[in-house]
A and B are shown apart, each in its own frame.
Chain A
Amino acid sequence: MKRQKKVLALAAALIISVANIAALAQQTLDRTKAPPPGPTPVLTVPTWTRTQLSNGATLIVSERHGLPLVNFSITFVGGANQF
């Protein structure tokens, strides 16, 4: 008897949760409305180090792993304004 009650209770709980899911699904599956955007994400700028070489050049290093690639770039201050 007791056991049967438990089963009934479980069945009832299951029916309720299934009904909930169905109701939820019906609510959320209104395909006519475009989902609103989430909150504006925060941009986390990668970190870098800045050191001075003995010859005076500035060295900036920013690490990112995942691919065996390195990008290397030198900027010389020497544009039209200097001449």
Chain B
Amino acid sequence: MTNKRRVLSALALVLTISLAQPLLAQKKDSAASGSINIPFETYKLPNGLTVILSQDHTTPTVAVDIWYHVGSKNETAGRTGFAHLFEHVMFTGSGHVPYGLHDKLTEGVGGGNNGSTTNDRTNYYETIPSNYLESALWLEADRMGFLLDKLDIAKLNAQRDVVKNERRQSYDNQPYGRVSEIFSAAMYPKGHPYSWPVIGSMTDLSAASEEDVKAFFRLYYAPNNATLAVVGDFDPAQTKAWIQKYFADLPKGQTVQRPSVPLGNLTAGKRLVYEDRVQVPRLYMQWPTVGFKHDDDYALSVLGSILFGPRTARLTKALVYDLQLASQVSAFQNSDEDVGVFQVTVVPRPEHTLTEIEAAVDQVLQKFITEGPTAEELQKAKSGLELGFLRGLESNLGKANQLINGAVFYSDAGQFRTDYQKTLAVTAADVKRVANQYLTRSRIVLSVVPKGKKDQASKATESEAVSVVVEPRRGGK
């Protein structure tokens, strides 16, 4: 480090070329399964807490990661936003941990902490110097077991306001920020668990009572609905003893019911237009596909990677470089535990209309559906996905997330090996088949246009206006 710094200060400019190539990209017949070596062990405490331990002594750091199998889909209509609200409340202290100590024992010692919420799960994590592992386990156990001891209405209201502000910043006052919730509401029938946004609605956040929120916590934040991973530099015997000490006496909660969730299925296509405070219109398309537990998810991910990415990717090449209709394109399979969608987004260049763009996208897709990918396209796409996947396994936290992801959704922490193999095993025929199967379905076409410019929508006369409830302005003009 010191040496490196000296060299850097001696040279005002250093040219660095950095390349990273997955070794397997050229040889998919090699023993792929043996190539990722992440040893781990897993066990369950009598209260139902699943534990995963994976040692890596490269650096004296460790990641502590807990996933609760609860996300926005476990909420009920009229009470949305709870799972994410907890992500905030969980950092405000618990039974034995005063507010502020969590940050002190993580960020304050050179580490980090955060949490995230999706439709399917909520996670909380610390990355810390390895000699602070015991305190991190103590912190996590305390908020799992004793959060409600210190949760009162004042604290809840403060976090409710923080979340409402997050909603304003990230969705309501963000150009194109409401697209995802417009799609969720249009793709799924009313009351479907994926029909509302993770952030929740302003009305529901205001309506949540202290008891509503506490009941949600008691059911979903119990050890039997949680998976803990410790990854990095630790002593396994000592760590197991600490996990026993801090987590074993937390009571098991009720069994969580997991209703089966129907896939998105549009009986007819929808064509929508939304007026937003934006300067440039955008075209979005979504097709209902499958969730990430379905095997077609692998080929659909490869399809996304073939259509969008480097300048040679199909849609990028055609729309941005060859035809120069668009300044930006994206295409990807976006999958959750139970459902998934394939989404295409295009930002037009100023002199081109969304109608023109839609026709061009359809032409590229139609050609692809007929021909399928070339061998080179397939190889490039899979290499890109492989690199991204492997990069995600480089850090302690990345490994922890992969291991828990398997344990939570597949009851197998070793699922990452299957995901890796199945991605590499996708064939040109698989990609062609999923393109035929999913991209020919009824879809939603959404045009987001500047205020008062509904005529800029793709096929404007056939498009139905979306009305979104915006929070009433408080005071002022």
Task: Please give the residue numbers on chain A whose beta carbons come within 8 Å of chain B beta carbons, in ascending order.
Answer: 25, 28-29, 31-32, 34-44, 46, 64-82
Contact = CB atoms under 8 A, between A and B. Distances in A.
Contacts of A67: 35-37, 390, 393-394
Interface in B234-250: 245-246, 249
A6 to B, nearest CB: 31
Contacts of B171: none
Given A28-B245, A64-B58, A68-B24, A38 B16 contact: no
A41 B129 contact: yes
B335 to A, nearest CB: 24
B17 A73 contact: yes
A40 B131 CA distance: 6
Interface of B: 10-24, 35-38, 56-60, 95-97, 101, 105, 109, 129-135, 138, 141-142, 146, 233, 245-246, 249, 387, 390-391, 393-394
B14 A65 contact: no
A75 B16 CA distance: 5
Contact of A41 (B16, B56, B58, B60): B60
B124 to A, nearest CB: 17
Nearest to A43: B60
Contact of B391 (A29, A31, A69, A78): A69
A2 to B, nearest CB: 38
A38 B245 contact: no
Given A37-B135, A74-B16, 7 more contacts: A39-B131, A64-B58, A67-B390, A67-B393, A69-B391, A71-B19, A72-B20
A81 B11 contact: yes
B interface, over-half SS: mixed
Contact of A31 (B21, B37, B95, B387): B95
Contacts of A77: 11, 14
B144 to A, nearest CB: 12
B37 A38 contact: no
B390 A69 contact: yes
Nearest to B18: A73
Contacts of A35: 134-135, 138
A34 B19 CA distance: 44
Contacts of A38: 130-134
Nearest to A46: B58
A40 to B, nearest CB: 6
Contacts of B130: 38, 41
Nearest to B104: A34
Contact of B35 (A40, A68, A79): A68
A69 B20 contact: yes
A46 to B, nearest CB: 7
B140 to A, nearest CB: 12
Contact of A69 (B22, B59, B97): B22
B22 A68 contact: yes
Given A46-B58, A67-B390, A71-B18, A79 B134 contact: no
A69 B145 CA distance: 40
29 contacts: A31-B138, A32-B96, A34-B105, A37-B109, A37-B135, A41-B60, A43-B59, A43-B60, A44-B57, A65-B37, A66-B56, A67-B393, A67-B394, A68-B23, A68-B24, A68-B35, A69-B20, A69-B23, A69-B391, A70-B20, A72-B18, A72-B19, A73-B19, A76-B15, A77-B11, A78-B13, A79-B13, A80-B13, A81-B12
Given A32-B96, A38-B134, A79 B23 contact: no
B131 A34 contact: no
A29 B245 CA distance: 7
Nearest to B35: A68
Pick from A29, A43, A66, A82 the residue with the most CB of B within 10 Å: A66
Contacts of A31: 95-96, 138, 141-142, 146, 246
Nearest to A64: B58
A42 B134 CA distance: 17
Contacts of A82: 11
